């Protein structure tokens, strides 16, 4: 991807960097050659990002042209809003306190150049602020409150011509380091049209895809003309260098996976799982309300709070199922057999969430899992219950024991199961979902709609083999083609 530094005047950036062009803001905005460029990362180093300034229009038109601006429009809005700055700083308050605890002054200004600061002791804080607010050159202002607590008061961009003379050698080094890591300097294969990042943690015990499956995804991407690169949580700052992001780590809202999804979406990437899907699928209270409103069958459900626990015996009976709203991989899901056990377990769950899901126990030998992407079914499997257990995963002192996974051709899935699964997934969006369905006496009941569904080699791909990975990658490729296609090419 081509790198372009845009400043008010090229002389404002007196540094030469390999494979990085420098252009004035006015030329970038008015010269037709820049409108026609594709696959460009624009580094906006203008003097101001205020509304309708040159700097504002650089990021605005870069977005309209399908270029990738840094900072993005959303980042510019965050930088300008002091209240948002303070709210977002709450997410890394511990890092702020630990980084500044040795200071004796009551005010502190931190200059951040491509995620770095001259003082090594502020390296982590600088990198985090850069990842959070996205502008290449930033100045952060902190004050010490009466309670001896440091607070971030504001973030302002540093214009290229406002770099102190004493900092210029350091800025040049920081810029060289930054751009040397960028993917637009990595030789691309001759057949590659797009860059796909796959967020993956090989050490995670509960990852949705194993190493063999990840390799199959990479191979399928390459066959379609996409370079696939594995990234981890440390690559947050460079995610804008890619065209698409595929999250293959277990997602959660208060988690780096959600921050990656939001950043990727703000930067204009094709992203799966998208932030809305993560928000909607990871909370069972939301799912229950959504499915109920659209008359999608589920096991009988009660949204439990401290004032209605006493109704469960009459509403659901025993045994019944309790679910922490953000539970995953069968963790936070319990079967309770009595009112005493219900009260004990519900009270524990209320310490984490004001609302808890209670459902009637609907025993079946297996759950259907229907994989849906882009609003159509791709694969199906039967998830059999673990031996001697009521769930597909049995947690024990010796570890986990899993039930058998049996891949099934879509043609062999009962139509009511497919229809109900598709209806529920389409209520969430057009992402990649794994819908869990119980089939009882010819009726289908939705148990969950999962973002980030499991796709492991030798399990879910048992029928389609390599074609399953290619089908998933085909959706990415088609969305990228649609996004980067010029208007005149659409005919």
SS3 440: strand
pLDDT at 463: 98
Dihedral sign for Cα atoms in the order 350, 352, 354, 357: negative
Global pTM? Answer: 0.73
pLDDT at 239: 85
Structure tokens at 143: 């004050």
How many CA atoms are closer than 13 Å to the CA of 286, on its beta-carbon side? 14
Domain ranges, residue 34: 2-183
H or E stretch covering 470: helix 466-484
CA–CA gap between residue 14 and residue 403 (Å, rounded): 63
Q: Please give the order of strands across the beta sheet that includes 150-157.
A: 107-113, 137-144, 150-157
Strand pairing class (376-384; 366-373): antiparallel
CA–CA gap between residue 83 and residue 278 (Å, rounded): 25
Tell me the Cα Rg of the chain. Answer: 25
Structure tokens at 481: 């083609």
Structure tokens at 30: 């008015």
Alpha helices by DSSP H, 255-297? 256-266, 275-281, 284-293
Q: Which residues pair with 226 in a beta bridge?
A: 194
How many other β-carbons are positioned within 10 Å of the β-carbon of residue 407?
A: 18
Assess if residue 17 is contained within a domain.
yes
Dihedral sign for Cα atoms in the order 478, 482, 488, 491: positive
Assess if residue 273 is contained within a domain.
no
CA–CA gap between residue 62 and residue 71 (Å, rounded): 10
What contacts 24+ positions apart, CB below 8 Å, involve 408-415? 408/380, 408/381, 408/382, 408/463, 409/380, 409/463, 410/377, 410/379, 410/380, 412/380, 413/368, 413/370, 413/377, 413/380, 414/439, 414/442, 414/444
CA–CA gap between residue 49 and residue 445 (Å, rounded): 51
CA–CA gap between residue 169 and residue 187 (Å, rounded): 28
Q: How many domains are contained in the chain?
A: 1
pLDDT at 187: 41
Assess if residue 245 is contained within a domain.
no
- Chain centroid to Cα 453, Å, comes to 14
CA–CA gap between residue 286 and residue 294 (Å, rounded): 13
SS3 144: strand
Strand pairing class (40-44; 270-272): unpaired
**Burial of residue 417 (number of CB atoms within 10 Å: 0-12, 13-18, 19+):** buried
Per-residue pLDDT tens for 333-353? 899 999 999 999 999 999 988
How many CA atoms are closer than 13 Å to the CA of 224, on its beta-carbon side? 25
pLDDT at 225: 92
Dihedral angle over CA of 303, 428, 266, 260, nearest 10:
70
Nearest Cα to 114, choosing from 55, 71, 51?
Answer: 71
CA–CA gap between residue 144 and residue 107 (Å, rounded): 6
Assess if residue 177 is contained within a domain.
yes
Structure tokens at 308: 């209605």
Question: Residue 351: CB partners within 8 Å, gap ≥ 6?
Answer: none
Q: Which residues pair with 382 in a beta bridge?
A: 368, 406
* Residue-by-residue pLDDT tens, the chain, 491 positions: 789 999 999 999 989 998 899 999 999 999 999 988 878 889 999 988 888 899 999 999 998 888 888 888 878 877 777 656 666 666 678 899 999 999 999 999 999 999 999 999 999 999 888 888 878 999 999 999 988 899 999 888 888 889 999 999 999 999 998 887 745 434 444 457 899 999 999 998 889 999 999 999 999 999 999 999 999 988 887 787 789 999 999 998 888 999 899 988 888 899 999 999 999 998 889 999 999 999 999 999 999 999 999 899 999 999 999 998 887 666 678 999 999 999 999 999 999 889 999 999 999 999 999 999 999 999 999 999 887 777 777 666 555 667 899 999 999 999 999 999 999 999 999 999 999 999 999 999 999 999 999 999 999 999 999 999 999 999 999 999 998 775 555 54
pLDDT at 184: 43
- On whether the CB atoms of residues 180 and 24 are closer than 8 A, the answer is no
Structure tokens at 225: 């003309």
């Amino acid at each position: 991807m081509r790198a372009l530094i845009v400043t008010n005047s090229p002389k404002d950036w007196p540094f030469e960097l390999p494979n990085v062009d420098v252009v004035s803001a006015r030329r970038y905005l008015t010269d037709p050659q820049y409108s026609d460029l594709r696959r460009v990362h624009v580094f906006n180093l203008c003097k101001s990002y205020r509304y309708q300034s040159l700097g504002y229009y650089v990021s605005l038109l870069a977005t309209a042209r399908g270029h990738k601006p840094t900072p993005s429009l959303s980042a510019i809005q965050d930088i300008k809003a002091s209240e948002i700055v303070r709210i977002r700083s709450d997410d890394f308050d511990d890092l702020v306190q630990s980084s500044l605890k040795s200071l004796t002054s009551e005010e502190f200004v931190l200059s951040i150049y491509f995620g770095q600061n001259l003082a090594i002791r502020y390296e982590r804080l600088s990198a985090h602020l850069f990842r959070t607010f996205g502008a290449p050159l930033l100045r952060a202002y902190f004050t010490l409150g009466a309670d001896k607590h440091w607070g971030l008061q504001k973030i302002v961009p540093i214009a290229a011509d406002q770099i102190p003379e004493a900092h210029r050698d350091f800025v040049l080094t920081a810029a060289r380091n930054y751009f040397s890591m960028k993917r637009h300097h990595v030789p691309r294969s001759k057949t590659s049209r797009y860059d796909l990042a796959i967020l993956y943690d090989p050490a995670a015990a509960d990852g949705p895809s194993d190493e063999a499956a990840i390799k199959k995804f990479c191979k399928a991407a390459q066959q379609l003309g996409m370079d696939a690169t594995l990234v981890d949580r440390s690559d947050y700052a460079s995610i804008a260098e890619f065209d698409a992001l595929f999250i293959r780590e277990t997602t959660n809202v208060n988690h780096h996976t959600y921050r990656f999804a939001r950043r990727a979406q703000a930067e204009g990437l094709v992203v799966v799982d998208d932030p809305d899907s993560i928000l909607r699928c990871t909370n069972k209270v939301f799912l229950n309300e959504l499915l109920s409103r659209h008359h999608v069958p589920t096991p009988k459900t009660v949204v439990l709070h401290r004032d209605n626990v006493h109704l469960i015996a009459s509403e659901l009976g025993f045994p019944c199922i309790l679910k922490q709203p953000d539970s995953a991989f069968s963790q936070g899901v319990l079967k309770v057999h009595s009112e005493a056990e219900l009260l004990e377990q519900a009270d524990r769950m209320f310490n984490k969430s004001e609302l808890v899901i209670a459902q009637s126990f609907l025993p079946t030998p297996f759950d259907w899992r229907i994989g849906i992407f882009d609003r159509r079914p791709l694969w199906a499997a039967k998830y059999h219950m673990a031996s001697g257990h009521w769930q597909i995963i049995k947690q024990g002192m010796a570890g986990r024991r899993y039930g058998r996974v049996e891949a099934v051709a879509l043609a062999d899935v009962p139509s009511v199961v497919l229809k109900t699964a598709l209806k529920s997934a389409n209520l969430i969006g057009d992402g990649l979902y794994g819908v869990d369905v119980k089939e009882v006496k010819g009726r289908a009941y939705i148990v969950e709609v999962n973002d980030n569904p499991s796709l492991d080699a030798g399990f879910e791909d048992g029928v389609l083999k390599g074609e399953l990975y290619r089908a998933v990658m085909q959706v990415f490729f088609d969305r990228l083609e649609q996004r980067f296609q010029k208007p005149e090419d659409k005919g």
